[in-house]
Amino acid sequence: MPIENQGDIDLCLFIEPYCEDYWMKPGEALTVRSEAEGIDVWFDTYISKGCVTVWLYEDGDPRKIVDDYTVIDAGGQRLDSGHQRPRGQRWSAAGPSID
């Protein structure tokens, strides 16, 4: 699932239920890719101010969370949670607090 920041501010890609965050600069693109084999992975996506939240489910069943995934940049490099996280970023129960 490719995600591109076409805006003019940093954009957070937030992967649930693990609260992993990956930050994109304007014009940057990341891809969320399932590493699970032999299953049909569905991506459930929610958009909020400055944030795209993604859940990965097996066969679209929210009781079957897929936890074997990778986030990669446009060059194919695997990224760790916290990629380009802004200094002093605040959090709430729903994810990053975007002002």
The model's pLDDT over 47-75, given as tens digits with 9 standing for 90+, comes to 988 899 999 999 989 999 998 999 999 99
Rounded to whole angstroms, the Cα distance separating 77 from 83 reads 12
The predicted pLDDT at position 32 comes to 96
CA angle in degrees (0–180, nearest 5) for 4-35-91: 55
- What is the side-by-side order of every strand in the sheet holding 69-73? 2-4, 29-34, 69-73
pLDDT in tens, 17-51: 888 999 999 999 999 999 988 899 999 999 988 89
The domain of 20 spans 2-79
Q: Is residue 99 very low, low, confident or very high in pLDDT (cuts 50, 70, 90)?
A: low
Residue 87 lies in a domain: no
Residue 98 lies in a domain: no
Kindly report the pTM of this predicted structure.
0.87
Assess contact for 31 and 15: CB atoms under 8 A.
Answer: no
What is the CA 1 to chain-centroid distance, rounded?
Answer: 10
Residue 95 lies in a domain: no
Residue 14 lies in a domain: yes
What is the number of domains present in the chain? 1
